[in-house]
């Protein structure tokens, strides 16, 4: 009879599947460290849950389902925090009448569609993204790096659609300012 | 004039909110109208509209192939395996 040693089996799966799991986790979270932590947690959970693994199942599929749950939990934790309107962020951009503050007003950009293919511009955008608060960055990651639509994301994450696009809105205000300072006006 | 503007038009703050909300939900005809009335008179928000659209497109184009500090695959695997006892 074939006695399976869970630890040895999982260690083998680490060799076989780390790369593909890391690639997926990175694609979803856009953060190397987060991706590595989530994949490591996936393997450790797999050891604990090995008794649930059906022998004739595909290991990769099973590991991916564990990983996807961990990715969802990761987003859910951060996105649970409610958006407060008077938290001092918007005041940096608009005065009490809702008009653009002079120093925050958008200036004309010399930009065309070709810029989208410019690697350095993409890098600048990436750097600006890294500076966002983590909850906002996650909203961006969910919107742009997840194939589901906004409504489904909101349902799954248990946040209101209005909270979700408020996060996106704030992120775009911040990204716009960052790009203006670091790329267009440099 | 200011009072008319306040009643019929959005502030810049509200206009930028709607410009971004547009990418998620269809605006109501009333929202669309008021937004249009604002952006046709406000250079700054017209600029914002162009720029936020550019950012939206750029984010869609972001390729997750950033290799700035790639995972050292073999040491990652060793680290994980070390933590799996048995």
How high is the ipTM of this complex?
Answer: 0.75
> What is the rounded distance in angstroms from the CA atom of residue B70 to the CA atom of residue A64?
21
Cβ atoms of A46 and A13 within 8 Å: the answer is: yes
* Whether B58 and A126 lie within 8 Å, measured CB to CB: no
| Residue A186 scores a pLDDT above 90 | no
Q: How far apart are CA A166 and CA A171, in angstroms?
A: 8
Give the three-state DSSP class for B73.
helix
Question: Please, what is the average pLDDT of chain B?
Answer: 85
Using CA atoms, how far apart are residues A176 and A162, in angstroms rounded to an integer? 21
pLDDT in tens, A31-47: 888 899 999 999 999 99
- CA-to-CA distance for A37 and A39, rounded, in angstroms? 6
Q: What is the pLDDT of residues A71-130, one digit of tens each?
A: 999 888 777 766 665 568 899 999 999 999 999 999 999 888 899 989 899 989 989 988
Q: How confident is the model at residue B67 (pLDDT cuts 50, 70, 90)?
A: very low
Cβ–Cβ < 8 Å for B71, A32? yes
Q: Collect all residues of chain B within an 8 Å Cβ-Cβ radius of residue A29.
A: none
Chain A hits for B23, CB-CB cut-off 8 Å, are: 165, 168
């Amino acid at each position: 009879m074939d006695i399976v040693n869970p630890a040895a089996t999982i260690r083998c799966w680490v060799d076989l599947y780390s790369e593909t799991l890391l690639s997926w986790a990175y694609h979803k979270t856009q953060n190397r460290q987060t991706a590595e932590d989530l994949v490591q947690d996936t393997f450790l959970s797999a050891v604990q849950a090995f008794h649930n693994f059906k022998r004739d199942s595909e290991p990769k599929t099973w590991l991916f389902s564990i990983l996807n749950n961990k990715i969802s939990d990761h987003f859910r934790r951060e996105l649970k925090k409610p958006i407060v309107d008077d938290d001092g962020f918007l005041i940096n951009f608009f005065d009490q009448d809702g008009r653009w503050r002079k120093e925050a007003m958008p200036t004309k950009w010399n930009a065309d569609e070709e810029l989208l293919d410019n690697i350095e511009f993409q890098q600048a955008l990436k750097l600006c993204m890294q500076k966002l608060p983590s909850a906002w960055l996650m909203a961006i990651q969910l919107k742009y790096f997840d194939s589901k639509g906004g409504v489904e994301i909101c349902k799954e994450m248990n946040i209101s659609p209005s909270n979700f696009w408020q996060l996106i809105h704030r992120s775009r205000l911040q990204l716009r300012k960052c790009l203006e300072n670091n790329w267009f006006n440099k | 004039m200011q009072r008319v503007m306040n009643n019929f038009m959005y502030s810049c703050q509200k206009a930028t909110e709607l410009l971004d909300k547009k990418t998620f939900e269809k605006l109501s005809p009333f929202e669309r109208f008021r937004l249009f009335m604002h952006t046709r008179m406000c250079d700054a928000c017209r600029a914002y509209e162009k720029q936020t659209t550019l950012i939206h497109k750029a984010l869609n184009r972001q390729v997750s192939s950033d290799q700035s500090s790639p995972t050292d695959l073999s040491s990652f695997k060793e680290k994980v395996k070390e933590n799996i006892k048995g």
